[in-house]
Structure 1
Amino acid sequence: MKRLFRNSFKSIAMVSSMAMLFLCCTDNYERVGEEAKKTIYPQGVAQNFKLTYTEMPEKLESEAIDSSKVVAVLTSPISEDFENLRFKHQTFPEGLQIDFYNEKGEKTVIKADYGISYSITNLIDLRGNVVIDSHDGKKLEAPQIYWDRSNEWIFTQEKFKYTNPEDGTVMDGEGMDFNRDFTFFNAHKTYGLMMIKEELE
């Protein structure tokens, strides 16, 4: 009887000790900042990525094979696909280039160090040394620019530098929006150097 009691006591003591050990080892550390972020991995990664945006005519002939028109071509060394998330998007961590084509087939080029394409909103966020070179020599430089694919509209709230060789002007400003062909350009705030070429009589 004493031996059974002694063994039961040892078992209870062992179980209590183990329970206390596990309770003491719980992680009560509260993670903040970078530690608190959950690591999210893409569902796919593509190298030498190329995406062609095309436009179809309103009336599509049954025999028409080459009736679609190339509107833009997006290329990037790497594309990361996060289409499995609630807010679906693609990232271009090593930069990207977008070639726009107007009705005449003339090309305007946008380059950036980093980009995010949001499929739900049809918006592309371009960041880092963003440069737009239009087919007629106009150039826009900014740290960040958004391209609204649905409305074919480009805009930013950041500082920018706009060079127009047609009238010999260089404009510095902050915040602007324009269409992809630069036929409409609205600068929200301008300042700095502006050189205007004078016409000789």
Structure 2
Amino acid sequence: MNAFSNRNFRFAVAVLMGMVIVASCETDLKEVDRIAAIQAEEPVDISQGVTVVYSDSAKVKAKMTAPEMRHYNVEEPYYEFQKGVTIIFFDDNGAELQRITSDYAIQKEVQELTEFRGNVVITRADGSIIKTEELIHDQKANTFYNHVAIEAYFKDGRGNFMGSSFQSDGNFENIEVQNSTGLYLFEDGQGPAFRQ
């Protein structure tokens, strides 16, 4: 290779390297633009390992824990728990009344509604368990309800039942079940009976 060819070769390599660097920068800039566009579309604050304590008159009423909480700062703001949530409710003495766990939850601030979805389990202090795939909490009325199947296993003598949907007060004391089928035990020891 003569000096002229060697210089042309170096120049060609330098031009190719420059093109690779420019292409690389353009890719990085496109990724930055893409992320910025997502953030502009979804103004969201993300918190990891969240614990929130709710109190009234210096008494803890409930404690919520979640691996992740997203707060969307939109016209009608809401909180989203894509990785699940657990809420524990306490009585005035600090003893656990019940807990709710689910795979997903969303709390709509304006409507004052919280929706739990996916493997929703309500566990009461007496060991009673209610299972469903959807649970909605109306914060204003302090009621719970749903529109899908429910299974309940009570330890207080009320028996076990299934239904197509239900409505309850905030303490799951007064539960109205639609289209219920259950197993009930007679108090006088006559044995089980099915009732619809």
Using the size of structure 1 for normalisation, the TM-score is 0.69
Are 1:161 and 1:172, in contact at CA under 8 Å, matched by a contact in 2?
yes
Return the alpha-carbon distance in structure 2 between the equivalents of residues 197 and 163 of structure 1: 16
From 152, 167, 185, give the equivalent of 1:162: 152
Are 2:122 and 2:130, in contact at CA under 8 Å, matched by a contact in 1?
yes
- Aligned-residue sequence identity (percent) comes to 21
Return the alpha-carbon distance in structure 2 between the equivalents of residues 166 and 150 of structure 1: 28
Return the alpha-carbon distance in structure 1 between the equivalents of residues 163 and 94 of structure 2: 30
Match of 1:135 in 2: 125
- After superposition, the C-alpha distances for 1:72-116 in whole angstroms (9 at most, x for unaligned) are 11110001110x211110100000001111234332110000000
Using the size of structure 2 for normalisation, the TM-score is 0.70
Gaps of 5+ in 1: 1-37, 57-67
Higher helix share: 2
Gaps of 5+ in 2: 1-36, 191-196
Are 1:42 and 1:80, in contact at CA under 8 Å, matched by a contact in 2?
no
Q: Which amino acid aligns with 2:110?
A: I
* Number of residue pairs the alignment of both structures matches: 151
Pair 1:51-2:41 in alignment: no
CA RMSD in angstroms comes to 2.0
Are 1:102 and 1:181, in contact at CA under 8 Å, matched by a contact in 2?
no
Match of 1:106 in 2: 95
The worse-fitting range, judged by mean Cα deviation, of 86-95 and 143-152 is 143-152
Are 1:53 and 1:71, in contact at CA under 8 Å, matched by a contact in 2?
yes
From 152, 164, 173, give the equivalent of 1:183: 173
From 85, 89, 93, give the equivalent of 2:78: 89
Pair 1:75-2:76 in alignment: no
